[in-house]
Every structure is written in C-alpha cells, then in structure tokens.
Amino acid sequence: MAEFVAVGIDIAKHKFDVAVLLGAKCRNKVFANTAVGFEQFLMWLRALTPEPVHVCMEATGGYAEALALHLSRAEVRVSVVNPFQIAKFAQALGTRNKTDQQDARTIARFCQTQQPAPWQAPSPQLQHLRELVRRLDALLGLQRQELNRLALSSPSTRASIEAVLRVVDEQVRLLKSTIAEHIDRHPGLKAQADLLDSIPGVGEATIALVLAELPPTALRCVRSADAFTGLAPRQFQSGSSVKGRSSLSKQGSPRLRKALYFPAIVACRYNPVVKLFYQRMLQNGLTKKQAVCAAMRKLLHLIVGVLKSGKPFDPSLHNLKSA
C-alpha cells in the first residue's frame, strides 16, 4: 500500500481543528468551517507536504459533509467515520485530555493505524433529497416554535404569529409535495421507498428521511447501521461486581434516532415482529422507555433487511418467538 500522510480533523459548527502527522511531529492548525476555510486548508496542506494524504474526520451531524465533499472533489482521499469508533480508539490509547486539538490528533492516529475506507460522495439526486428533507425538518421545527408561541400569545402578537404560520404551513406543504415528486421521479429511490413502505410503522416522512440520511456504508450490516445511528447498546461494567444497564451509545446520527422514535412506538402496536420483541423486552425487566429504544433498533434492522435484500417486509420470514 502506498505511503500517505495521516490527517485528522475535529470539526464543529464554525471551525475545524486539523492535525497532520509528519513522522514523529504533529502540525496543528484551525480553519473556519466555510468554503473559504476549506480552500485555505487545502493550500496549507499542499504547502506542508508533497506526499499523498489521507484525511479522516468524524460523522458529526451535518458539519463534516460539506468539507468531505469539497475534499473529494479535489481528489483528496477522505474518510468519514462514526464518532463511536474514535471514542473507542481514544479509550484504547488511554487518552485523558479532551480538547479539539487533542481530538484531531487522535483522529489522525486512527487514520494512520486503521486506514478506514474512503468516503463515497452521495449521488446528485440523493444530495438534493437530503437538502429537501433537512429544509423540511427546519421548517417543522419553526412551525412547532410558532405554535407554542401562539398558545401563549397576547392579542398584540397573535396576528403576527398567525401570519408567519400561514407562510410556514404553505412551505411545509410544498416541500412535502416536492420530496414525494423527487422520489417518484428517480426509479432507484422509488424502489427503495416502496420497500420501506411495506414495513408497518414506517410512514412517508420516515421513508424520506431514511433514504436521505442512511448512507450505503450503514447498510453493510445491522452493526454498521446501529453504529451510524447511535442505536448500538453500550454496556457498563467494572470488574466483576459493578454492573449497570446497557444504554444507547448516542454517538451517531441524531436525525435518524429522532426519526425512528415515533415510528417505533407505532410499530410496537401494529408491526408483529416489533410488537412481540417489545413485549419480550418488557418481560425481561426493561422500562417502557428502554423497551421503545430497543424497538427503535429492531425497526432499524428491519429497514436494513428490506433495503439489502430488495424484498418487501414479510413477517413470516421472522421467527416471531425469538424476534
């Protein structure tokens, strides 16, 4: 395998910290998380080393995607990995300090030793769907805020809030229609949407968000999907005497966890596989909240199953006694 210089990036909303491993030395620099910052980073990196580079960063919300796309277009090898992997790697290294600069160094060392797979840029139609879905999510958040304000408003502000709500309501309606038309217009997306629609509990809004947010790498196996969404269980144990209940890692995509919560509640009532699984979790001593979280993970596995197999959901293929 060709030699490369490992580069770790700890990215946040407004800036990103870079660590470049050059032999025994590490060079650090901070750039603005903007298009200008991306170009400045590339210029600095090219001046720093003529060697091929491998850039690695965490899949943190939507912050990493724009930079990864910029680097990919510049033909720079880039990997976007689950934060849970980096956290486990840092734990294995015994890293104690928690700073942006130190995190970037840890990611660079992860890149150097683990050599993660390169990131694959989403197709143009998938990028467009993601933009539409995220815009809809933002408008729905604004809609909820204005409805809350309306409930507490006085006569002097009610008219203004109602005017804003009329505009937002119309934009929400238009975006939902645009998303549906976009999916119907692309055969690949339409086929996947039909597969997801066969799962009881998975509705139109969830289908669009899953198609937009769940990358192909998360469909390799259910463990990859668990890690990407942050639904992988995390065990707490110390020695042989201190044990605690497992909980969700919550290191992955908050958008997908949020999107699966209410569908899982519906699936606990109407999806035969998820329903029996949920009931068994309650019998095993989990609280209702914990059982719903387990049901979210089960529903995610069904989603991965139909997308990987290309076949609609069929409860008869599942052993309901051990579901």
Residue with the two structure tokens 């919300």: 61
Domain ranges of the chain: 5-114, 124-185, 211-322
Has residue 236 got a pLDDT over 70?
Answer: no
**C-beta separation of 40 from 34 below 8 A:** no
Residue with the two structure tokens 């910052």: 37
Under DSSP, the state recorded for 23 is T
* DSSP SS3 for 301: helix
Confidence of residue 193 (pLDDT cuts 50, 70, 90): very high
Q: Using CA atoms, how far apart are residues 224 and 76, in angstroms rounded to an integer?
A: 24
Specify the CATH superfamily of domain 5-114: Ribonuclease H-like superfamily/Ribonuclease H (3.30.420.10)
Tell me what pLDDT residue 120 has: 85
pLDDT tens digits, 80-129: 987 778 888 988 888 766 788 999 999 999 999 999 999 888 889 999 99
Name the more confident of 214 and 168: 168
Q: What are phi and psi of 110, to 5 degrees?
A: -60, -45
The residues pairing with 177 across neighbouring beta strands, listed in sequence order, are none
Tell me what pLDDT residue 83 has: 79
Region 158-183: what's the mean pLDDT? Answer: 97
Q: Using CA atoms, how far apart are residues 123 and 67, in angstroms rounded to an integer?
A: 16
Tell me what pLDDT residue 238 has: 38
Region at 128 (left for phi over 0; alpha for psi -120 to 50; beta for the rest): alpha
Q: Are strands 233-238 and 242-248 parallel, antiparallel or unpaired?
A: antiparallel
- Counting DSSP H helices and E strands in the chain, the numbers are 12, 7
- What is the number of other CB atoms lying within 10 angstroms of the CB of residue 250? 15
**C-beta separation of 59 from 8 below 8 A:** no
Burial label for 13, CB within 10 Å (0-12, 13-18, 19+), is: exposed
pLDDT tens digits, 55-86: 999 877 567 888 999 999 999 999 998 777 88
Identity at 140, one-letter amino acid code: L
Q: How far is CA 126 from CA 46, 59, 191, 236, in A?
A: 31, 17, 14, 38
Tell me what pLDDT residue 122 has: 86
Identity at 193, one-letter amino acid code: A
List CB contacts of 298: < 8 A, sequence separation 6 or more.
264, 273, 274, 277, 278, 323
**C-beta separation of 46 from 59 below 8 A:** no
Q: Using CA atoms, how far apart are residues 72 and 295, in angstroms rounded to an integer?
A: 36
| Range with lowest mean pLDDT among 1-10, 108-117, 294-303 | 1-10
* DSSP SS3 for 231: coil
Best CA proximity match to 288, nearest among 315, 303, 269 = 269
Tell me what pLDDT residue 244 has: 46
The residues pairing with 234 across neighbouring beta strands, listed in sequence order, are 247
Tell me what pLDDT residue 222 has: 84
Has residue 232 got a pLDDT over 80?
Answer: no
Identity at 145, one-letter amino acid code: Q
- What is the number of other CB atoms lying within 10 angstroms of the CB of residue 154? 6
| Range with lowest mean pLDDT among 51-65, 71-85, 213-227, 298-312 | 213-227
Has residue 162 got a pLDDT over 90?
Answer: yes
Q: Which two tokens stand for residue 164?
A: 């804003």
pTM here is 0.78
Region 287-310: what's the mean pLDDT? Answer: 94
Q: Using CA atoms, how far apart are residues 126 and 209, in angstroms rounded to an integer?
A: 11
Average confidence score pLDDT of the chain: 89
Confidence of residue 321 (pLDDT cuts 50, 70, 90): low
List CB contacts of 196: < 8 A, sequence separation 6 or more.
202, 206, 207, 210, 211, 303, 306, 307
Tell me what pLDDT residue 113 has: 94
Tell me what pLDDT residue 235 has: 47
Region 278-299: what's the mean pLDDT? Answer: 94
Tell me what pLDDT residue 249 has: 53
Region 271-284: what's the mean pLDDT? Answer: 95
Tell me what pLDDT residue 72 has: 92
